[in-house]
Structure formats: structure tokens, C-alpha cells
Amino acid sequence: MYQLLLILGVVLLPEVDALQCYQCSSDDDDSCLTTECNSGSHCAAVRMTSYRGFFFFFLIVIFFLSKKKKNSEQFLCLQGSFNYGYGRIVYNYKCCSTNLCNDQPASEASLSPNSKKCFTCDAMGQNCDATLNCLGDEDRCFSTTVINVDGMTVREMGCASHEICETFFTPGQGGPGVDYECCQGDFCNSASSTSAGLLLSVVPLISLILFS
């Protein structure tokens, strides 16, 4: 498991007055400094956790940094996770708007299974008929198809939180060779049903990084 825990304070959301926030890179009180944030900022405590899939964790961190510059009000202060079976990324942004309010770290992610079930693929993206029990607030299934550098079609399937599907991904802006969908309903992300269910078209992390 790889984990990045931050308590920081430059989260651009509509506010009038500047405020004081703690800024540090861990939950060690001795490493935290007090900083005055720009007008229109919120304080934030951030926790991002990756289980097994470090490569995807790296991509999502880059995505966070890029997305923050583009549309932070829609993007920040959310909670959710992205579960592809052999790995899972969970993040929690805890935002607040009073002086030094980010003095506690964001909470740990829930690992409790819920009743949602989705299809998932193996690590090679070839066999995608395994059942994945979704965890925490993961209430959507996702399915993505990407053509890799070798020209092979790679598929990822699993569970995701609705806030990831509705906030992080903009419909109709995928890159070449990329298809990404979220849907509602158990096992709605099967190869035969992704065009028939209630689908929310979204853009994958890799596409946003490579083509934004």
C-alpha cells in the first residue's frame, strides 16, 4: 500500500477573505507551518491512498495537480475511490474555511464491502469475467478500453464512486483509442451491456494526462 497524507491549504474555492491554514507534507505537527492563503482559498486536509497499484496512484496524483489548475471548485473537496480489482485508489479531501481549521488529517478510507458487484479484469486486461465486490461508497461500475503503445487493446473494469464518474471526467473529450464509461446496476459493465444500461461517458485518467 502506498499512501500520501497531506495537510495543506491552497484549495481554490469561492471565498472573500484570506485565511490562515496549516501547510505540511505529513501529519507530524512539528513539520507544519502556518501560511496565509490567497483570497478565494479554503484550507484542506488531504489523504490519498493506493493499494498495490502504484502506477495508477502516480497517474492520479498527476491528474490531481493538473485538474486543480483548471477547475478546482468542481474538482476538490470530494471523497471517492477507484477500484480495479488488483488495485484500488482512494482519496479524501476534507475542506474548511476558518483560520487553521485543517489541524486534523482526513479520515482513513473505508474497506467495508457494500452490496454492489461489478465485473473486473485480470492484470493483463484480457479476462474480464471475474466478480468484484465494491467497497465503501463505490456505487458505480466502470469499463475502459485503451489501445496501448503496442497497438493492443487493454481493458480495465471495476467499481468507482459516483463522484469520480460525475466530477473527474468530462464527457466527449477522450483521446484516440480510448473509451471510458460508468454505469449503474450490478454487473452493468460487462462487454455486452455497456451500450444498453444507464451509462455515464467519462474520460480516463491516462487520456486526461496525455491529451489535456
Q: Higher model confidence: residue 192 or residue 67?
A: 192
Q: Which amino acid is at 152?
A: M
pLDDT of residue 172: 52
pLDDT of residue 34: 87
Length in residues, the chain:
212
Residue 79 has pLDDT above 60, yes or no: yes
Q: Higher model confidence: residue 9 or residue 146?
A: 146
What is the overall mean pLDDT for the chain?
70
pTM reported for the whole predicted model: 0.67
Distance CA 96, CA 105 (A): 12
pLDDT of residue 185: 94
Question: Cα separations (Å) of 158 from 45, 138, 173?
Answer: 27, 10, 21
Specify the CATH class of 113-211 in words: mainly beta
Please report the sign of the dihedral spanned by the C-alpha atoms of residue 93, residue 25, residue 104, residue 49. Answer: positive
Longest dimension (CA), the chain: 54
Residue 139 has pLDDT above 90, yes or no: yes
Where do the domains of the chain lie? Answer: 2-96, 113-211
pLDDT of residue 22: 86
